[in-house]
Amino acid sequence: MTSKTFGALALMLFAATAGAQDAKTVIGNSSRAMGVDNLASVSYFGAATAYNLGQNSNANNPWPRQNQNDYVRAIDFAQPASRATATTYAMTPQGNAAAIGQFQQNITPAQAAWAQQLEIWITPWGFLKGAAANNATSRTTGSGANRQYVVTWSPAAPKSPGGQPYKLVGYINTQTNLVDRVETWLEHPIFGDMHVDTRYSGYRDSYGLKFPAEIRQTRAGWPSFDMFVQGATANPANLQALLTPPAAPAGGAGGPPPGGAPPQVGSEKLAEGVYRITGGYVALAVEFADHILLFEPGPQNEARGMAIIAEAKRVIPNKPIRYGIVSHHHADHTSGLAAPVAEGITLVTTEANKAYFQKWLTSPRTLAPDAIAKSGKKPAFETVGDKRVFTDGNRVVEVHQMQGIAHADGLLAAYLPKEGIVAYADMFNMPAPNAPPPVGAGLFTHIAMADNFERLGFKYNTLVSVHAPNPDRPITKADFYATMPGRPVPQ
């Protein structure tokens, strides 16, 4: 071995050793500055704001917010476990009376999913404790007052559904040794490898424990959680009480047992070549001369999207599914879109929603490779303005964009004029038998739907709601207008 080669190897070994030492030193210095060295648990409290991911009224606006007052979170890093509670105060967009409710999130070692566990490890204290135990690496970024240590580590468990380790990246201020920011990634059926970015500022001191006065988190680029922290306690004496949920009411909480089998997919023939697909969120399959059109092709999750596709092919055999009309962008109606995209189905949506879907359905999906990732296909789109007509010269399906619906911009309904059928989502939900007529927000939405259908001159008798009534039964125009006392039924 030449002296030059030996020198190069020695330099590489020194660099690797120094890098490992740097990470250990960075974490140690930050832990001391933050008061983490002897920290086994923590509690903190204040006023927070949570945001409803994927449920914005406009696809290109931030998520809707909900205040969470008297927010308290306790964390036991050893288990690991956490519990958060708050009082909520929410108001519906149609102006219903504000409603006071209770929020709680319980995370135990049995709940090993990263979606829950990350709440522990993205905190500045949890990040440092995890970094110290999981072979973290360190580098620097920026310069001068903006210089930061960038520390990266992965938990031993859980692994992502795709088998990859999750990753946390923390940014530590080189001047104060305080944690400024922690980011990680979480699988999501729409947003793919969804970026979760949490920033901490305005640090204060509580008997040696440093805690941020402000927490701001974004998911998929929009605010998802904000908090003004009023105080924090290291190793709280009442930790067990803070972590223990209240006892369930006598007789149990009621409802079906968890983990029950999902409803079985089925279908109901409404007219020749027109089928209502049941067993979850409802879809409508319509036969054309050489293809099939679906209304709501990918609700709920990928499995539901695949089930809808399979049932449509079963009842209308030997024809490809060419189009899938997406009622609107909300997550519960689009979390199964991987299935139609992988099938090569063209998604029919509004121009504004197309930009949203185009961005997210082509995003990386490495943590949980879905049907899109496995197929390698890109989504295809056709857009609707106020109206779009699909016809083969015999069958006609009109797609209309609803107006004045507060629930979501770009809400689409499908109208089959020959069959007298309208398919829609999230405007009118059939009330339970003998229930009183709706008031407030419910009545407002019913009136807006009736206004749209009358404006467009729909002649129908059968309504197909994506949300099936309970008990499931046919919905007629008479059923709909019965919820609006005094409003005449148009002929």
Find the length of the chain: 491
Distance CA 149, CA 27 (A): 9
Looking at the DSSP bridge assignments, the partners of residue 165 are 159
Tell me which amino acid residue 147 is: R
Contact in structure between 164 and 20 (CB atoms under 8 Å): no
- Nearest CA to 149 out of 194, 113, 182, 188 is that of 182
* pLDDT for 302: 97
- For 474, phi and psi rounded to 5 degrees? -60, 145
Tokens of 4: 């030059």
pLDDT tens for each residue of 400-416:
999 999 889 999 999 99
Residue-wise DSSP of 73-95: EEEETTTTEEEEEEEEEE--TT-
Asked if residue 93 has a cis previous peptide bond (ω within 30° of 0), the answer is no
Asked whether the CA dihedral 388, 289, 309, 257 is positive or negative, the reply is: positive
Distance CA 126, CA 27 (A): 12
The CATH number for 19-243, chosen from 1.10.150, 2.50.20, 3.40.50, 1.10.10, is 2.50.20
Domain boundaries, the chain: 19-243, 266-481
* pLDDT for 15: 40
* pLDDT for 357: 97
* pLDDT for 90: 67
* pLDDT for 102: 92
Q: Look up the pTM and report it.
A: 0.90
The CATH homologous superfamily to which domain 266-481 belongs is Ribonuclease Z/Hydroxyacylglutathione hydrolase-like (3.60.15.10)
The segments of the chain whose pLDDT lies below 50 read: 1, 3-20, 252-259
* pLDDT for 491: 80
pLDDT tens for each residue of 135-176:
999 999 999 888 999 999 999 999 999 999 999 999 999 999
Distance CA 358, CA 351 (A): 10
Eight-class DSSP state of 144: G
